[in-house]
């Protein structure tokens, strides 16, 4: 069987990952802001078509192939060293001027390639009419129209790949003066591509540096800007010949919406209103489904207890199954509907293009921290999970900005903390204010992150922020398939955690609560009771100085989902019975203080490992761990003691 290696290359947000998913059947979340597809991970898939296997690699999305950023290094390195049989260059048909810059560089590399024009429906809405035949003739490469989101043109693309296109027939020609010096540099470097790269970025070869100095003198600017100007000039000529612009109102409509949602005075209130609405929906719609799951686990526990009694199972086995496994895991899984809803709604905001506007809105605030709006993008991702959010800081320009953003991102309330909020808010607060209480926790996380960032900027991370340039993607109607896939993947990840992390954790807690054998389950004489009693006094000023809370906080270092499972296991009850028990140990004020501590203290071990991996500094990792715990204690202390002074106890 023949094999063809195919590399997908293009800008972020051009539909590259969507095409990869459709070609391979593999599912990866498709984001909507610059850098979202840049996970610095190698994504591969394969399909078999007749007697040929297509090995498909999704390269990081880049705006250039200059090799300056890590993403560009990976893409260029793969193209130069792995030498794929075909490069499929995906371009956003509505923004060809920007997208064709990478196309020209691929042509200069001399790789066999196909130019794929995607998102044509948006081009049509903006009145952009592209003559693909003429564009193909002028570039010397095949040009195909597709619509990745609904697989239009997929078969034509596969046939074009199977045809194994030849390397480009033409090369990009610069003006006479520049071509002459490219020729001189090529004699030294051995290839036209390496000569152009050396002239742009510099070289240890004295002759190359002499040419660079000469070019800068002739053109009055840096060599990199000379090449960029002439490439964009070439693109302008291409588009003038091959693209017509008809009168259309799509772009104007998008601009009108932007004037409202990114308004200096209305932008932030609109963002707050949208987030508040999300939390209200999560509670209102999720509650009935939660009740059904709760009943199911209750019946399961009763059936298990009865079945074990019928076979005369030892008491410890009954306790393990009913108190440990069903009580612990069930008390977490019950929140699956709410978690699915939250991720579904966030995916709608993300895929619609709105979250990119949030970065613009927050740019004014972030500049006060020496950051810019792009730094808020990883923080938004932190609402889902801190691990990918911390990894997303790789797209920031400077080490100072990356480190500062890494240290404040874990304050954003991740999805793993949600079960704790859902449990305690549902128990202690009236239905009409539950969404507001949840909303206040998320706002508090943002506020503490910003204040911490300001303090760090004044002390450890002094300096000015770099320039903020962010592509504003067009508004798009999210697809039902896309948002369901995203919410489904996140929910499955939550369930997987219930099996991989929470299940062993609750078993460990059950064992510690049962040892030494002969003591009352989870009593002060058990191992876990003694551990909880030892640290409980630390939390007494915060309103939850009892052993079970201390144990839950310790177990939450493994994964925040374990906190609810810890209570369920320690008290040996499911979610419904857990509410009755917690009513006796918490008050509304102390429950809120506990949620604040869970929100702000050290993230899970996976997030801490990621901080170490991204900063390559144990000092920074230790600063994050200790600093967050101290901040969590201080803020919870202020909340609880302040509430007591105001008479809320």
CATH number of the domain at 2-163, please? 3.40.50.300
pLDDT over threshold 60, residue 463? yes
Backbone angles phi, psi at 54, to 5 degrees: -100, 115
Q: Is 22 annotated as a binding residue?
A: no
- Which of the listed ranges 163-172, 481-490, 498-507, 584-593 does the model predict with the highest average pLDDT? 584-593
Question: Can you tell me the distance from the alpha carbon of 540 to that of 566, in angstroms, rounded to the nearest whole number?
Answer: 19
Model pLDDT, residue 56: 92
- Which of the listed ranges 317-326, 338-347, 622-631 does the model predict with the highest average pLDDT? 622-631
| Ramachandran sector of residue 308 (left: φ over 0; alpha: ψ -120 to 50; beta: rest) | alpha
Model pLDDT, residue 253: 72
Q: Is 615 annotated as a binding residue?
A: no
Q: Is 61 annotated as a binding residue?
A: yes
Q: Is 479 annotated as a binding residue?
A: no
Model pLDDT, residue 161: 94
Model pLDDT, residue 372: 66
Chain centroid offset of residue 47 CA? 27
293: number of Cβ within 10 Å: 16
| Residue 417, strand partner residues | none
pLDDT over threshold 60, residue 182? yes
Q: Is 36 annotated as a binding residue?
A: yes
Please give the structure tokens belonging to residue 343: 């991720």
Q: Is 39 annotated as a binding residue?
A: yes
Q: Is 603 annotated as a binding residue?
A: no
Round the average pLDDT of the chain to a whole number and report it: 83
Q: Is 24 annotated as a binding residue?
A: yes
Model pLDDT, residue 268: 85
pLDDT over threshold 60, residue 574? no
Q: In terms of Cα–Cα distance, which of 493, 484, 344 is closest to 416?
A: 493
Instruction: HSE, CB side, 13 Å, CA atoms: give it for residue 149.
Output: 20
Chain centroid offset of residue 75 CA? 21
Question: Can you tell me the distance from the alpha carbon of 360 to that of 270, in angstroms, rounded to the nearest whole number?
Answer: 13
Please give the average per-residue pLDDT across 37-45, as a whole number. Answer: 59
Backbone angles phi, psi at 468, to 5 degrees: -105, 115
Please give the average per-residue pLDDT across 607-626, as a whole number. Answer: 88
Q: Which residue has the higher pLDDT, 195 or 572?
A: 195
Q: Is 16 annotated as a binding residue?
A: yes
Query: What secondary structure letter does DSSP report for 502?
Result: I
Long-range contacts of 252-257 (CB under 8 A, 24+ apart): 254/474, 254/475, 257/475
Q: In terms of Cα–Cα distance, which of 104, 92, 77 is closest to 130?
A: 92
Q: Is 315 annotated as a binding residue?
A: no
Place of tokens 């929100």: 599
Q: Is 497 annotated as a binding residue?
A: no
Model pLDDT, residue 35: 40
Question: Can you tell me the distance from the alpha carbon of 293 to that of 575, in angstroms, rounded to the nearest whole number?
Answer: 10
Q: Is 587 annotated as a binding residue?
A: no
Place of tokens 């002239």: 199
433: number of Cβ within 10 Å: 12
Model pLDDT, residue 31: 39
Q: Is 252 annotated as a binding residue?
A: no
Model pLDDT, residue 395: 64
Model pLDDT, residue 40: 52
Instruction: Count, in order, helices (H) and strands (E) of the chain.
Output: 30, 8
Q: Is 545 annotated as a binding residue?
A: no
- List, in order, residues 6 or more apart from 222 with CB less than 8 Å away: 216
pLDDT over threshold 80, residue 645? yes
pLDDT tens-digit profile of 203-259? Answer: 888 999 999 999 999 889 889 899 999 999 999 999 989 988 765 555 567 778 888
CA distances, 357 to each of 268, 363, 480 (Å): 10, 10, 22
pLDDT over threshold 90, residue 565? no
pLDDT over threshold 80, residue 377? no
Model pLDDT, residue 211: 92
- Which of the listed ranges 385-389, 490-494, 628-632 does the model predict with the highest average pLDDT? 628-632
Please give the average per-residue pLDDT across 276-281, as a whole number. Answer: 82
Q: In terms of Cα–Cα distance, which of 390, 495, 503 is closest to 449?
A: 390
Model pLDDT, residue 258: 84
| 197: enclosing H helix or E strand | helix 192-201
Q: Is 629 annotated as a binding residue?
A: no
Model pLDDT, residue 551: 85
Q: Which residue has the higher pLDDT, 325 or 85?
A: 85
Instruction: Note the maximum CA span of the chain.
Output: 94
pLDDT over threshold 90, residue 482? no
Model pLDDT, residue 472: 67
pLDDT over threshold 50, residue 52? yes
pLDDT over threshold 70, residue 26? no
Whole-prediction pTM: 0.63
- Which of the listed ranges 32-41, 335-344, 412-421 does the model predict with the highest average pLDDT? 412-421
pLDDT over threshold 60, residue 2? yes
Backbone angles phi, psi at 48, to 5 degrees: -110, 125
Interior angle at CA 241, CA 238 and CA 244, nearest 5: 110
Percent of the chain with pLDDT over 70: 88
Q: Is 330 annotated as a binding residue?
A: no
2-10 β-sheet, strand order: 43-49, 52-58, 2-10, 86-92, 113-118, 143-145
Q: Which ranges of 311-374 would DSSP assign to H, the alpha helix?
A: 315-318, 327-333, 336-352, 354-367
**Residues 376 and 414: beta-carbon distance below 8 Å:** no
| Dihedral over Cα of 565, 569, 570, 574: its sign | positive
Model pLDDT, residue 95: 86
Q: Is 35 annotated as a binding residue?
A: yes
Q: Is 21 annotated as a binding residue?
A: yes
pLDDT over threshold 50, residue 27? no
Q: Is 37 annotated as a binding residue?
A: yes
Which pLDDT band, with edges at 50, 70 and 90, does 342 fall under?
confident
Listing DSSP states for 84-142 in one string gives: -SEEEEEEEGGGHHHHHHHHHHHHHHT--EEEEEE-HHHHHHTTEEE-HHHHHHHHTS-
Question: Can you tell me the distance from the alpha carbon of 34 to that of 13, in angstroms, rounded to the nearest whole number?
Answer: 7
pLDDT over threshold 90, residue 542? yes
Q: Is 365 annotated as a binding residue?
A: no
Model pLDDT, residue 470: 59
Q: In terms of Cα–Cα distance, which of 131, 70, 139 is closest to 102?
A: 139
Model pLDDT, residue 30: 40
pLDDT tens-digit profile of 70-120? Answer: 678 888 888 988 899 999 999 999 889 889 999 999 999 999 999 999 988
Model pLDDT, residue 157: 93
Please give the average per-residue pLDDT across 445-472, as a whole number. Answer: 77
Question: Can you tell me the distance from the alpha carbon of 130 to that of 117, in angstroms, rounded to the nearest whole number?
Answer: 9
Question: Can you tell me the distance from the alpha carbon of 602 to that of 557, in angstroms, rounded to the nearest whole number?
Answer: 7
Question: Can you tell me the distance from the alpha carbon of 35 to that of 40, in angstroms, rounded to the nearest whole number?
Answer: 10
Q: Which residue has the higher pLDDT, 440 or 473?
A: 440
Calculated CA dihedral for residues 639, 645, 648, 649, nearest 10 degrees: 90
Where do the domains of the chain lie?
2-163, 176-245
């Amino acid at each position: 069987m023949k094999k063809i290696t195919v590399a997908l290359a293009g800008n972020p947000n051009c539909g590259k990952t969507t095409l990869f998913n459709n070609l391979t059947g593999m599912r990866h979340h498709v984001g909507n802001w610059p850098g979202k597809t840049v996970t610095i991970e190698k994504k591969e898939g394969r399909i078999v078509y007749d007697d040929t296997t297509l090995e498909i690699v999704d390269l990081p999305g880049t705006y250039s192939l200059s090799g300056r950023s890590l993403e560009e290094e990976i893409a260029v390195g793969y193209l130069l060293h792995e030498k794929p049989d075909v490069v499929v260059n995906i371009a956003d048909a509505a923004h060809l001027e920007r997208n064709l810059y990478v196309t020209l560089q691929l042509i200069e590399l001399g790789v066999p390639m196909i130019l794929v024009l995607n998102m044509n429906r948006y081009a049509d809405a903006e009145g952009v009419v592209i003559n693909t035949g003429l564009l193909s003739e002028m570039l010397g490469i095949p040009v195909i129209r597709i619509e990745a989101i609904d697989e239009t043109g997929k078969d034509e693309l596969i046939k074009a790949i199977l045809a194994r296109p030849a390397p480009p027939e033409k090369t990009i020609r610069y003006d006479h003066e520049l071509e002459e010096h490219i020729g001189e540099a090529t004699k030294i470097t051995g290839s036209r591509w390496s000569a152009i790269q050396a002239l742009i970025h510099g070289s240890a070869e004295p002759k190359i540096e002499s040419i660079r100095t000469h070019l800068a003198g002739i053109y009055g600017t840096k060599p990199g800007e000379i090449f960029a100007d002439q490439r964009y000039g070439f693109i302008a000529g291409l588009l003038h010949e091959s693209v017509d612009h008809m009168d259309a109102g799509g772009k104007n409509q998008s601009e009108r919406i932007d004037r409202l949602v990114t308004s200096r005075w209305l932008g932030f209130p609109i963002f707050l209103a949208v987030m508040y609405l999300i939390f209200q929906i999560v509670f209102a719609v999720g509650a009935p489904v939660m009740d059904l799951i709760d009943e199911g686990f209750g019946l399961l526990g009763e059936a298990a207890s009865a079945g074990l009694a019928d076979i005369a199972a030892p008491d410890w086995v009954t306790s393990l199954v009913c108190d440990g496994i069903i009580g612990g895991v069930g008390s977490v899984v019950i929140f699956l509907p709410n978690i699915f809803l939250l991720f579904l709604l966030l995916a709608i905001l993300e895929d619609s293009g709105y979250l990119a506007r949030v970065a613009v809105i927050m740019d004014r605030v972030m500049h006060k921290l020496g950051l810019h709006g792009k730094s808020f993008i990883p923080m938004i991702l932190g609402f889902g999970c801190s691990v990918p959010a911390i990894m997303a800081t790789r797209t920031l320009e400077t080490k100072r900005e990356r480190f500062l953003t890494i240290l404040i991102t874990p304050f954003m309330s991740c999805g793993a903390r949600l079960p704790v909020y859902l449990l305690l808010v549902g128990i202690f607060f009236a239905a009409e204010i539950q969404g507001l209480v949840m909303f206040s926790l998320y706002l508090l996380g943002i506020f503490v992150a910003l204040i911490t960032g300001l303090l760090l900027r004044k002390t450890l991370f002094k300096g000015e922020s770099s320039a903020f340039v962010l592509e504003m993607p067009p508004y798009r109607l999210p697809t039902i398939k896309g948002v369901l896939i995203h919410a489904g993947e996140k929910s499955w990840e939550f369930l997987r955690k219930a099996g991989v992390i929470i299940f062993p954790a609750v078993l460990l807690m059950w064992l510690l609560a049962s040892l030494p054998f002969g003591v009352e389950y989870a009593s002060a004489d058990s191992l876990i009771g003694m551990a909880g009693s030892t640290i409980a006094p630390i939390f007494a000023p915060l309103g939850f100085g009892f052993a079970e809370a201390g144990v839950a906080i310790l177990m939450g270092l493994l994964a925040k989902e374990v906190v609810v499972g810890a209570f369920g296991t320690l008290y040996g009850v499911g979610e419904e019975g857990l509410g009755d028990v917690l009513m006796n140990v918490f008050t509304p004020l102390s429950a809120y203080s506990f949620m604040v501590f869970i929100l702000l203290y050290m993230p899970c071990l996976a997030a801490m490992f990621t901080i170490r991996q991204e900063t390559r500094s144990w000092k920074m990792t230790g600063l994050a761990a200790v600093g967050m715990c101290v901040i969590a204690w201080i803020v919870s202390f202020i909340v609880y003691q302040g509430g007591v002074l105001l008479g809320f106890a």
